[in-house]
Protein backbone atom coordinates (compact mmCIF):
# COMPACT_ATOMS: atom_id res chain seq x y z
CA UNK A 1 0.00 0.00 0.00
CA UNK A 2 1.35 3.41 -1.02
CA UNK A 3 0.37 6.73 0.53
CA UNK A 4 1.38 10.35 0.00
CA UNK A 5 1.74 10.93 3.74
CA UNK A 6 3.53 8.83 6.33
CA UNK A 7 0.98 7.16 8.56
CA UNK A 8 1.87 5.07 11.61
CA UNK A 9 1.81 1.36 10.87
CA UNK A 10 1.40 -1.67 13.11
CA UNK A 11 4.70 -1.27 14.97
CA UNK A 12 4.38 2.49 15.36
CA UNK A 13 0.90 2.15 16.85
CA UNK A 14 2.27 -0.37 19.36
CA UNK A 15 4.98 1.87 20.80
CA UNK A 16 7.87 1.76 18.35
CA UNK A 17 9.46 4.96 17.08
CA UNK A 18 8.48 5.96 13.53
CA UNK A 19 11.89 7.30 12.43
CA UNK A 20 14.29 6.10 15.09
CA UNK A 21 18.07 5.97 15.13
CA UNK A 22 19.11 2.62 16.65
CA UNK A 23 22.55 4.01 17.53
CA UNK A 24 20.90 6.60 19.77
CA UNK A 25 18.67 3.98 21.46
CA UNK A 26 15.51 5.46 19.90
CA UNK A 27 13.80 2.15 19.24
CA UNK A 28 10.76 2.97 21.37
CA UNK A 29 8.56 6.04 21.29
CA UNK A 30 8.80 8.07 24.49
Sequence-distant (6+) residues with CB within 8 A of 28 are 15, 16, 17, 20
- Whether the full predicted model's pTM is greater than 0.75, yes or no, is no
pLDDT at 9: 73
**Alpha-carbon distance 19 to 27, whole Å?**
9
pLDDT at 3: 72
pLDDT at 26: 58
- The predicted-structure confidence for 1-29, as pLDDT tens digits, reads as follows 677 877 777 777 777 776 666 666 656 55
pLDDT at 12: 73
DSSP H helices, 1-30, are 10-13
Amino acid sequence: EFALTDRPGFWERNGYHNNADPWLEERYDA
